[in-house]
Structure 1
């Protein structure tokens, strides 16, 4: 997966090569990987809502002075699939540079083989999360 942050490429490969019946279990594990919001973001100030998600989903990406990107996600535990997308991005993009984040393919979830495991509506929500994250990074680099 050229250009993609190495950790994210590893996650994509794990999912792509996993048997279909294991994919949902793997997703649920990632739903627990979403770190809690820092106190400064507890009221979601400065976070962007992703209306394409069926559930309330908020995110924020910040390009640090060293050009690495820090991400924050807020999604209720009752939405495990959507939380899993956030967990995958949180873990896969940890320590990634702005340039690496921008090279993440827009069809990430299809590459992971998730299109066969979850609904198109959820895929669309996940794709919107990634799109907004990348847009926030692009805006901060401009």
Structure 2
């Protein structure tokens, strides 16, 4: 089972995790949220992210962040690089997380990481529609 880590501006990461746990309560243990506070130094946030993913050691990880280029995504990128440098190549990062993307990822959390990434991207893009 893949771990899913949401790194986003506060309070979005926790809010997304809460929504996912509401719909998929049995999957809550494999889902982590890190809310990036506005005044927190990026180095401290990266330390918190490392501590969080240490609980999911030896587990393939899907990292989800909110806005490409913003501090949470930059922290997630640094985390991904650190994981790969430590020999944990089983980690991927997607920016632009939304609730349909997260629900799709949680639904297919058991699939191989490459398939999970494809499913999450599909859920995220298909969840955005103009209505009427």
Tell me the TM-score range normalised by the shorter chain: 0.3 to 0.5
* Superposition TM-score, scaled by structure 1 size: 0.30
Higher strand share: 2
Structure with higher RCO (Cα < 8 A, 6+ apart): 1
